[in-house]
Amino acid sequence: MCARSVGRHTSTDRDPDDHHHACAAGPRAVQRPGHRGRAPRQTVRVDRDGQLGRYREWMLPRIMAQTMAFSCFIVAIGLTNDINKGIMDRFRSLPISRASVLIGRSISSLIHSSIGVVVMAVTGLVIGWRIRSGLGDAVLGFALLLLFGFAMIWFGILAGSALKTAEAVQGVMFTAIFPLTFLANTFAPTERMVPFLRTVAEWNPISSLVQAMRELWGNAPPPPPEAALPLHHPIVSTILWAIALTLVLAPLSIRAFNRRATD
């Protein structure tokens, strides 16, 4: 019966798929070279769901890291506007340290960014993202995110204190932050990059942060053996990057703010 059904197919048949139900071998019995057989829908759905699940878990840490990096953009524009509006002159008349003003600004910006991270985490849980490790590793991943965000905020304070207009701040911050977030392992694995870009990406502090969160949350396997040192020790690298950036940027930010406040 199945052989006759196949034999009756000619080049004038418009839809050979109509005969696939003629025998138990279905697609294998009638499939021809170049013909698109109908794959079982259940198999396709399982594979697709598995790939989407892995993609969500791989992408969400980089979205959080990118959001925290752009937190310095918000504080830079806000600080510039406050200085231009004379708000900082009012603080100068109070018996407080000027550094306390900047520390308060950095903490408030960090809290603002943390709210966005919480919203993204809840949204990720709704769409299927999961933390597949223990509670301690999960908390450590979020702590590293906040630590790196605190360091990046000092870069925003430096830009907001040194530049006098919001337009100048936007130009400088976009030029600096976009390469930092894109030349990393955020959107693509570094092993597929050309050697020069791979070296830059793997030594990027954003890459260390993203790799640390992915490993702590069980969202990605360890890096390949030929990867750079920071990716093999992402937690330590992220902490060292955050401390180094804070030690360098905080004094420069305070100096630039004092110079701007006395102008």
At residue 212, does pLDDT exceed 90? yes
**pLDDT tens-place string over residues 53-104:** 577 888 889 899 988 888 888 888 888 888 888 777 677 677 777 677 777 8
- The residue written with tokens 């878990």 in the block is 57
9: left (phi over 0), alpha (psi -120 to 50) or beta: beta
Query: How much is the pLDDT for 237?
Result: 96
Closest CA to 213 of 260, 163, 126, 147: 147
Kindly give, in sequence order, each residue whose CB lies less than 8 Å from that of residue 196, ignoring residues fewer than 6 positions away: none
Could you tell me the pTM of the whole model? 0.75
Round to whole Å and give the CA distance between 78 and 204. Answer: 27
At residue 229, does pLDDT exceed 60? yes
**pLDDT tens-place string over residues 29-41:** 344 444 444 444 4
Computed over every residue of the chain, the mean pLDDT equals 79
Kindly give, in sequence order, each residue whose CB lies less than 8 Å from that of residue 187, ignoring residues fewer than 6 positions away: 62
Query: How much is the pLDDT for 27?
Result: 42
Query: How much is the pLDDT for 216?
Result: 93
**pLDDT tens-place string over residues 96-139:** 776 777 778 788 888 888 898 899 999 989 988 888 888 999 99
Round to whole Å and give the CA distance between 109 and 21. Answer: 63
* Domain range annotation of the chain: 41-261
The 10 Å Cβ neighbour count of residue 227 is 18
Residue 65 in contact with residue 186, Cβ under 8 Å?
yes
* pLDDT band, very low/low/confident/very high, at 196 (cuts 50, 70, 90): very high
